[in-house]
Amino acid sequence: MPTFFTDPLFILFIGVCIVVGGIIGLKLHPFLALLLGAFVVAWLTPGSALEQFALEKGATPAAALQASKKSIGERVSLEFGNTAGKIGILIAMAAIIGKCLLESGAAERIIRSILQVTGVKRAPLAFLTGSFFIGIPVFFDTVIFLMMPLAKAMSMRIGKNYLLFVLAVLAGAVMANSLVPPAPGPLFLVGAMQIPIGMMMIAGCILGILTSTSGYLFALWVNRRAPVPVRDSMDAKLEDIRLQAAKSDAQLPPLWFSLLPVLVPLVFICADTFLNISSGKANSPFAKLVHFWGDKNIALVTGALLALILLALQKKEGRYDMAGFVQAALLSGGSILLITAAGGAFGGMLQQTGISTRITHLTRGYQMALIPLAFLIAAVVRTAQGSATVALITTSGILAGLASSGHLPYHHLYLGLAIGCGSKLVPWMNDAGFWIVCKMSNLTEQEAMKTFAPMNVIMGVAGLIFILIAATLFPLI
């Protein structure tokens, strides 16, 4: 086969075309498109590239030669399993936590408590803050399903600013979804890019707050320029919203208990990260305890158990099928896990082509350009096929090898953050989330394209600017 057809950039082009074309043109499920892309990329990759990739990973010449002789199916399934093993438990636990928060009323308690602190005038900021932090353990669509009725109720109560409430909810949820684990995309990204999960959580929260603020400023402007009224709909009658908003606080769980499923995993994981930074792998009993509970899998399992206890206590007065509830929660996260694992296989096959080495050579001498490059790749993939998670998975797979190259003048955390921000551009009609937003908010497609889409662009570009400044001033190496 000619050299041109074995060039990693050509193989990358073919792989991305298969994934994007499969999802958009053939209407394939992302799982099938990613898996098909993985098999084709594996088939196009020559044995010499596989051998070189293994050598760069530290394998002996004999082991590298053996790795180059593995079958296509074996290589794809191995990467698929490796990805599922890294994040399978985390995704399952995040699904349980999210569903419990919604079902028990804990999420509504959190939102109401924020409103009590901020007051009506600062209510949009409360929605922005609440959607961001609830969006950390809860999937994007669940945040929308939860908070859009509250946005309608609040707008009906004060008689204005409905579009501002909607965009505030979206700004917070969107940025948490692509920057802060345990959202599926960031979970995959920290594994592929070898970024400490605690570091990603802290940096993602900081960057997410900054970018969400830029989105909020845009929301203020567009709400004044083109306000949108609250509308009745078949799935969210305004009368039903009034009744829901009138529910007694006594029917909701206490705030401290509502926060536990979210805060406990965050505190454990962050404590472990701080301990590692300050004292390394300390052997004191306290350090061992923190390392145990700070393990990402154990921390998320703990959060899920607390969420289930909260739900059980809220439903204790009536019969409740807890087993059926957990099954439903796991089913909701199952497709995300399959998509993510297939993306891991696709990204793994791309890495074996030597694409990271190729990009390293192309950018030698101006590595700072890798940050906007990571942003651009993620933005192109997101705009083309519609899924922010697929954009995160695809781009991190392409650039993963750079994380351990040791040649970057800044911590590879910044590459991961750039990928997360790039995956926000541009939501439109090929995005399932776009239609969830339209359906739940009752914005028309034209209104969403004039408000939601440009807000995402502004937040993504603002994030890129913040990242470039931070990487220059605080390289973290």
CA atoms of 391 and 424, how far apart (whole Å)? 9
**Alpha-carbon torsion, ordered 402, 405, 406, 409, to 10 deg:** -30
Instruction: Provide mean pLDDT across the span 189-210.
Output: 89
Domain boundaries, the chain: 3-473
**Rounded distance between C-alpha atoms, residue 393 and residue 404, angstroms:** 18
425, two tokens: 């551009």
Per residue in 283-297, pLDDT tens?
778 788 888 888 888
Query: What would the pLDDT profile of 6-16 be if each residue is shown by its tens digit?
Result: 788 888 888 88
What are the residue ranges of helices labelled H in 386-427? Answer: 388-399, 413-422
Mean pLDDT on 127-151? 77
45-59, 254-268, 350-364, 371-385: the lowest-pLDDT one: 350-364
Q: Which pLDDT score, from 0 to 100, does residue 464 have?
A: 96
- Does 176 have pLDDT greater than 60? yes
Rank 66-80, 88-102, 335-349 by mean pLDDT and report only the highest.
Answer: 66-80
**Phi/psi zone of residue 159: left (φ > 0), alpha (ψ -120 to 50 degrees), beta?**
left
- Average pLDDT of the residues in 87-97: 82
* Averaged confidence pLDDT in the chain: 81
Confidence of residue 1 (pLDDT cuts 50, 70, 90): very low
